[in-house]
């Protein structure tokens, strides 16, 4: 069973990596057509009265990925609840994995921001890092997915993904990212939750195997 599980896990990781590469190279090949055309429709035809809403959603990502894990850590330390400890590790691990992958890809690929390449876009945010993938989107979806896995209730899942989707869309309305950047970010964030889940399972199995030998 372990070999089968490892084979399936390896296949999932390979599929995930290949999908991200296809999105990146596809976006390069079609940057003059589908990718930029969709961004122009969203960015240039937006309701400007909603700009404060989109800016708020965008700026909410960084404090959220700090506040939620920190709150979980504090709560777990106070309660000493083993079930809560597992959930805390899952969420914290997901956020960290997502950040590492997204940042590594950003500075490896070095894709310019869309408003740098296309001066007709209306830039509504200051972003100095490379464009691909969207770090805000990967962070938002890493938090939404890991919280949904840790607390599989509709009143957690619906608000979490509504917020993450809004944050992802805000990156387009603000002119900060191409649609392919946002799509890749969502895949990275969601996939990081899966990787964190697998990593936690592996750590727990190793810990449970070691305990009998310690007695």
pLDDT of the chain, 215 residues: tens digit per residue? 344 343 434 445 545 555 555 555 554 554 457 888 999 999 999 999 999 999 999 999 999 999 999 999 999 999 888 889 999 999 999 999 999 999 999 999 999 999 888 889 988 887 789 999 999 999 999 999 999 999 999 999 999 999 999 999 999 999 999 999 999 999 999 999 999 988 888 877 766 666 555 44
3-state secondary structure 73-101: HHHHHHHCCHHHHHHHHHHHHHHHHHHHH
> How many CB atoms sit inside 10 A of residue 76's CB?
18
Residue 26 is predicted with a pLDDT of 53
Q: At 9, which helix (H) or strand (E)? A: helix 2-29
Residue 207 is predicted with a pLDDT of 67
Residue 46 is predicted with a pLDDT of 92
- Asked if 44 and 121 touch (Cβ cutoff 8 Å), the reply is yes
Domain ranges of the chain: 48-209
Which residues does 167 contact at the CB level (< 8 Å), separation at least 6?
A: 57, 58, 60, 61, 136, 137, 140
Residue 32 is predicted with a pLDDT of 55
């Amino acid at each position: 069973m372990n070999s089968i599980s490892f084979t399936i896990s390896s296949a999932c990781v390979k599929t995930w990596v290949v999908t991200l590469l296809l999105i990146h190279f596809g976006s390069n090949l079609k940057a003059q057509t589908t990718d930029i055309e969709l961004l122009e429709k969203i960015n240039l035809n937006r309701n400007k009265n909603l700009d404060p809403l989109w800016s708020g959603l965008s700026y909410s990502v960084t404090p959220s990925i700090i506040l939620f894990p920190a709150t979980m850590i504090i709560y777990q330390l106070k309660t000493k609840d083993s079930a809560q400890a597992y959930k805390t590790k899952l969420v914290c691990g997901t956020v960290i994995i997502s950040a590492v992958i997204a940042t590594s890809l950003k500075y490896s690929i070095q894709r310019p921001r869309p408003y740098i390449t296309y001066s007709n876009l209306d830039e509504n945010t200051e972003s100095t890092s490379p464009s691909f993938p969207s770090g805000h989107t990967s962070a938002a979806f890493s938090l939404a997915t890991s919280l949904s896995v840790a607390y599989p209730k509709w009143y957690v899942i619906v608000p979490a993904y509504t917020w993450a989707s809004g944050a992802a869309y805000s990156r387009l309305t603000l002119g900060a990212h191409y649609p392919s950047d946002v799509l890749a970010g969502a895949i990275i964030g969601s996939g990081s939750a899966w990787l964190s889940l697998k990593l936690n399972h592996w750590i727990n199995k190793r810990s449970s195997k070691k305990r009998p030998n310690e007695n």
